[in-house]
Structure 1
Amino acid sequence: MAPILPGVRIIIANPETKGPLGDSHLGEIWVHSIHNASGYFTIYGDESLQSDHFSSRLSFGDTQTVWARTGYLGFLRRTELTDANGERHDALYVVGALDEAMELRGMRYHPIDIETSVIRAHKSVTECAVFTWTNLLVVVVELDGSEQEALDLVPLVTNVILEEHYLIVGVVVVVDIGVIPINSRGEKQRMHLRDGFLADQLDPIYVAYNM
């Protein structure tokens, strides 16, 4: 959850139709403020792409305001916090990057939801990241424990994901702490992790295939 700063307007939009969505509905986070950028500094940029990213307008409703598309999924929800005027604040909940949503069994899943379930499942799990590979769900788990605990984690991870998300795990990879790459903004680099998995560069403690 993140508070919305004064002078910043947030709207949640359908990323495909560009229509506005109501409170608590999941969609793309759009931002309007005096601090919005007008584009990237590049000599190779696609101007039409930049225009859509930095100067988007809603397809209906308030079609005059210019918004910047963040590329992140989230939703707005009214909180009990009040401002100086006694009015309640909206809070912004960020779910994750739009392009990291996974399509499995005809449904859309957000990595953070599955990862949170896995992290909660055992005290020795310090971090988790998920991605898809050939229509299989791959779960990478950082373990603060012994090799025996790595073996015990596999059924625990597969069961919690099946029970909470109704998904069958294809591969469980147990690794040491610090293997999952995280950028300077604290965001998991799931695609870099996927590349490392495919290139056999993760040096795992244990790998279990359920194929």
Structure 2
Amino acid sequence: MGRFFPTASSASPTVGKPSLLSHDVLPTVAFDAFRKEACNFFSERRQSRAGRCTTFYKNRIKKIIFMKNPFLILFLTTQTFTLFGQQKANYPEPLSGMKRVDLILPKIENEKNHKVEIRFGMKSKTSECSESNSFSFNIKNLKNEYGIQPSRFPYYILPSQIPIETLEFYNDKNCDKNKIVERKLISDQSIQTEYQSYYPVPFYIPENWTIEYKLWKTDNQYKTIK
């Protein structure tokens, strides 16, 4: 067999050591030379006891970026943030009988020390003597989705037709039971979220519903139960 590598000449297979192919097209000595040339291709290498090359791959591109060109680091970082910043939340259009209401909170100091309690409101016609001021619905009907998967830019969806329950309490003093008035009812069910003013949180609710919220201030300290 003629010269296979610049540093390897033809030779017979080593006794007791099989060649790469059963018909000895590539002798073991030549294969060892191939292994040696492959090792020399990398900047760092080590020979094991069995004569095999263990390679520690060094990424030359990373070395150039992180050691020799800090301006390139800044450029790539800027481009990365630009790429993520160009992502827009994908919100659906309201279905028939529904509307979209965006919860937009103002910027305040120490936002982490505040929580937001969100409830739902609606107007109902009832007797002037009624003292009812709330209604109930199955909170499982409230679906939490995201404008960018898997968990960025949350929004909430209620179905257009949703059963509700109200309890009527009547006061017979100084009122007319036959007189019908319109009152605002607030849901017994609520959700609580972190205070954040960076982006709006859309709610898709029935057209005759409203979004009601109030703020809670905390000291942001956890207490251990003893």
- The answer to whether the superposition gives a TM-score over 0.5 is no
Structure showing the higher helix proportion among its residues: 1
Structure possessing the higher relative contact order (Cα contacts under 8 Å, 6 or more residues apart): 2
* Rg larger in structure: 2
- After TM superposition, the score normalised by the length of structure 2 is 0.19
**TM-score relative to the length of structure 1:** 0.20
